Amino acid sequence: MESVHKRKQVAAKAQKRKLSEKKKDMISGYLYVAPFFIIFGIIGLYPAIFSIVLAFQKWNGLGDMQFVGMQNFVIVLQDPLFWKSLYNTIIMGLMGTAPQLIVGIILAYFLNMAVIRFTNFFRVTIFMPYITSMVAVALVFGVFFSSNETALANYVLGLLGFDPVSWKTSEWGAKIAISLMVFWRWVGYNTIIYLAGLQSIPKDLYEAATIDGANKVQQFLHITVPLLKPFIILTVFMSTVGALQLFAEPTVFLGSSAFNRDEAMTVVMYLYRDAFNLGSFGTASAAAVLLLIIIIGAAALNTWLTSGAGRKKRGV
């Protein structure tokens, strides 16, 4: 009798210890995620909400706020410069990122071929542009694409029989120069991601396909591309979101005239100019909210397109 009682007591004690252990773990859990969430609350969530509130106020950052309803949105949406900057952002985004992804896949495919030597050398050099900062890239390309007739870019154009371009002040010159610097800096980054994707594809798939008589192009289209799809989706998503946030390259490339000209003004530059050059925090916040909606819309469109295309393919 006594021993049973004792055993029960020990069991209860162990139970209790386990419970307090559980409680301790719970407290530790909360405690350890707390630093992130405290910082998130102050620096992330509060400003995000504040921004949305500000979008409905008139405010210059100093005096009292004044509720103006949708007026800020109306002002921004009726401003031709906003639409111009959105247009610029999309055009430069397409020109800078689409070729980047295609060239990235091709380079990764070559680097992954078993017969190629010096792959590490090629990989390192092709990746190197990514480590330079956006400002450095914009300044180097700014000299390369300077509006001088003797600019290196114009010299090369001359060799090819074209007239010199005024890169910083013409509609397409500025866009092409900026797209090229984005392309140059990011192509290696995407190559590395695709290379990792290619290396995750089992080699015996290709061997089996070769035995079945599929040629290299068929293998590329029916094995490589479908299995690479998650990586393609990832890079398309990241490039889209990144392209919509373009700021440093055009701002630094154009230097002192960045906010006075509209050839390469992006949405982020537009909202920056509203806030910090014109002191109109309300309309700037409205533009920021619009940018958020555009980014979410583009991300959703991306997901929809890629998953829709995938379903079609599986259906066939």
**Residue 302 contacts other proteins per CB under 8 A:** no
- Residues with Cβ within 8 Å of 94's Cβ and at least 6 positions away in sequence, in order, are 243
Using the Cα atoms of residue 124, residue 126, residue 127 and residue 133 in order, give the sign of their dihedral. positive
DSSP state of 46: H
Q: Decide if residue 193 touches other proteins (CB under 8 A).
A: yes
- Mask of contacts with other proteins, 243-262, x by CB under 8 A? -xx-xx--xx--xx------
Instruction: Using the minimum distance from each CB to other proteins, give the nearer residue, 4 or 31.
Output: 31
Residue 22 within binding range of other proteins, rule CB under 8 A: yes
Q: Judged by CB under 8 A, does residue 292 bind other proteins?
A: yes
- Minimum CB distance to other proteins smaller for 295 or for 316: 295
Q: Is 142 in the site for other proteins (CB under 8 A)?
A: yes
Give the ranges where 40-133 is alpha helix by DSSP (H): 46-54, 71-78, 80-111, 119-127
* Per-residue tokens: 171: 């509609």
In the complex, minimum distance from the CB of residue 314 to other proteins, in angstroms, rounded to a whole number: 23
Bridge partners for 90 per DSSP: none
The span from the CA of 239 to the CA of 158, in Å, is 33
Nearer to other proteins, 148 or 169 (CB): 148
- Binding other proteins by CB under 8 A: which of 74, 77, 102, 128? 128
Which residue from 47, 279, 297, 308 is in contact with other proteins, where contact means CB under 8 A?
A: 47
Which one of residues 65, 157, 169, 184 is an interface residue with other proteins (CB under 8 A)? 184
Question: Nearer to other proteins by C-beta: 118 or 315?
Answer: 118
How much of the chain is in helix, strand and coil states, percent to nearest 5? 80, 0, 20
> In whole angstroms, how large is the CA radius of gyration of the chain?
28
Contacts of 119 (CB under 8 A, 6+ apart): 111
Within 13 Å, how many C-alpha atoms sit on residue 154's CB side?
16
Binding to other proteins by CB under 8 A, coded x per residue (else -) over 262-281, reads ------x--xx--xx----x
Subset of 219-238 contacting other proteins (CB under 8 A):
231, 234, 238
Which CB sits closer to other proteins, 155 or 172? Answer: 155
Q: Are 263 and 78 in contact (CB under 8 A)?
A: no
- For the record, the structure tokens of 286 come out as 């409205």
Minimum separation from the CB atom of position 52 to other proteins (A): 8
Bridge partners of 57, per DSSP, are 67
Mask 77-96, x = binds other proteins (CB under 8 A)?
--------------------
Total residues interacting with other proteins, rule: CB under 8 A: 97
- Would you say 44 or 202 has its CB closer to other proteins? 44
Torsion, Cα 76 77 79 80, to 10 degrees, reads 140
User: Is residue 117 a contact residue for other proteins (CB under 8 A)?
Assistant: yes
- What's the Cα-to-Cα distance from 116 to each of 110, 141, 204, 218, rounded to whole Å? 8, 32, 19, 21
Taking the complex as a whole, the smallest distance from the CB of residue 171 to other proteins amounts, in Å, to: 21
Query: Which tokens sit at 117?
Result: 């030597």
Helices and strands: H and E segment counts in the chain = 14, 2
Q: Is 122 one of the binding residues for other proteins (CB under 8 A)?
A: yes
The correct pick among 132, 166, 170, 219 for binding other proteins (CB under 8 A) is 132
Using the minimum distance from each CB to other proteins, give the nearer residue, 185 or 312: 185
